[in-house]
Amino acid sequence: MTKSKIFLFLMMAFILGVGGGSFFDMPQRVVLVVTIIAISLVTIFYRRGSGILSFPVAFGAFLILAFSAGVLRFDVSESLTKVLTNFNDTKASIELRGYINDEPKRLIDKQRLTVQVKEIRAPDYAVFTDEKVLITVDFYPEFEYGDLVSIEGKLQSPKNFDDFDYVNYLAKDRIFSLAYYPKISKITAKDFLSEPTSKPENLKISLFKNIFRIKKVFEESIERTMAEPNAALINGILLGSRENIPQDLKEAFNKTGTTHILAISGYNITVVGLYISFLFMFFIRRQTAFWFTVLGIIIFTILTGASASVIRAAIMGILVLLAYREGRFHNMTNSIVFAGLVMILLNPRVLRFDIGFQLSFLATLGLIYLSPFLSDKLKRVPEFWNFKENFIATLSAQIMVLPVILYNFGGFSFVSLPANLLILPIVPITMFFGFLAGVAGLLWLRLGEAIGLIAWLFSEYEILIVKAFSLIL
């Protein structure tokens, strides 16, 4: 067995351990006993040398160790101290002080803010912590990422909806407390008992504040160059901003299985990467252009807010581009699994509770492994206007994500395949002209509007297709 295969099996054992720990309540004593047995087998293996049976025994022992490490990693993430939950669902109103730790989500008549709580205040005591709380407040006054705030109100525990596991959806981001319309006000660092943020946090806040400002300016430029809801759709495709998309249009995308177009996915990142790579290859060698493309994707990822889902999409997109460059899709197994391992190691809850992670991971596997197989079997599919490539890519991704969709949503949109086939070839063109319109709008509004008209036409086509297919259901 080669070293790469050994490494692959060890990674998979760790991932299975995390999965086992998340689905089943495995007593730590049992895991500890199994770990001790595995260590004993490894010790015996090294002492007795490499006999015929020694390698299988030792390899099995290392697999057990990796599996146990996965279980323990999930258990450790579950056992982290949660102070705020002690105040959930009580009649007591408490004061929390911290800073806004994510880009505010502005809806029609309200805002949702993720606050990184640093201090819990009471009349006769204060508790220092470092936890998150998700709050809902009025649309005004507006808040920005990094604002120091004080909130006063009652905390609640998240509750599941009929068809949505909201508790674990928030828990994957370590949010266990909610507050609805608390009293909120901006404060300064002097209002804290100690420094509210560390030096690394200050650097992060400063960086992301500037990034979000640039993002807002770019979004406003697109909004000036074309009418709604097309501008909102293009901002969704380019930057993952979905707040201004009308609810009926969002529902149409949901019904037709095309919602992934509105979020920054591995597909969007790949399209951006291909555009950047195409541009650089005019001036520099292909190998060098690849690394500039990766840098461009990183900058684009930061510009969109660098959320966990976007980072995941960027990693997957870079891996797909790497496979294109090397022309070796079948050798990407270790890279894909390693990327998943890193994300699971950083946040073990994503494996079970982050549907976006599951869909992105499976769709990428479908593109890399199932596409070549289907390409050989579907040789008669016409190749005009990249139809065959889009058809096979869409079908591969749909097949791979089908189990997750059926398990989580209890159904599958049968119009998803034709809707995606008609839309996906247009998405890169829409992104290209939408981006040009945004940039041109910053320089000269008239030029931005002229280019925006082209982007509007392509986005209008996508809207019409989605609405037409949604009427079938």
Residues in the chain: 473
pLDDT value of residue 171: 85
- Give the helix, strand, coil percentages of the chain, each rounded to 5: 65, 10, 25
pLDDT value of residue 25: 79
Distance CA 435, CA 437 (A): 5
pLDDT value of residue 308: 61
Residue with tokens 């730590």: 28
335, 328 contact by CB (below 8 A): no
Assign residue 49 a region (left: φ > 0; alpha: ψ between -120 and 50; beta: otherwise). Answer: left
Segment 309-337 shows an average pLDDT of: 69
Instruction: State the DSSP code for 261.
Output: G
Q: Indicate whether 336 pLDDT > 60.
A: yes
Least confident of 11-15, 300-304, 312-316, 320-324: 320-324
- Phi and psi angles of residue 220, each rounded to the nearest 5 degrees, phi first: -65, -35
Q: What is the dihedral of CA 455, 461, 464, 468, to 10 degrees?
A: -150
Q: What contacts 231, CB < 8 A, 6 or more positions away?
A: 222, 223, 225, 244
pLDDT digits (tens, 9 = 90+) for 33-69: 878 887 777 777 665 555 544 667 778 888 888 998 8
Q: Indicate whether 337 pLDDT > 70.
A: yes
Least confident of 13-17, 27-31, 443-447, 464-468: 27-31
Distance CA 110, CA 126 (A): 30
Say what percent of the chain tops pLDDT 90: 25
Residue 234 token pair:
């293009």
pLDDT value of residue 52: 47
Q: What contacts 394, CB < 8 A, 6 or more positions away?
A: 417, 420, 421, 424
Least confident of 61-65, 78-82, 134-138, 187-191: 78-82
Distance CA 98, CA 128 (A): 10
Indicate the average pLDDT of the chain.
Answer: 82
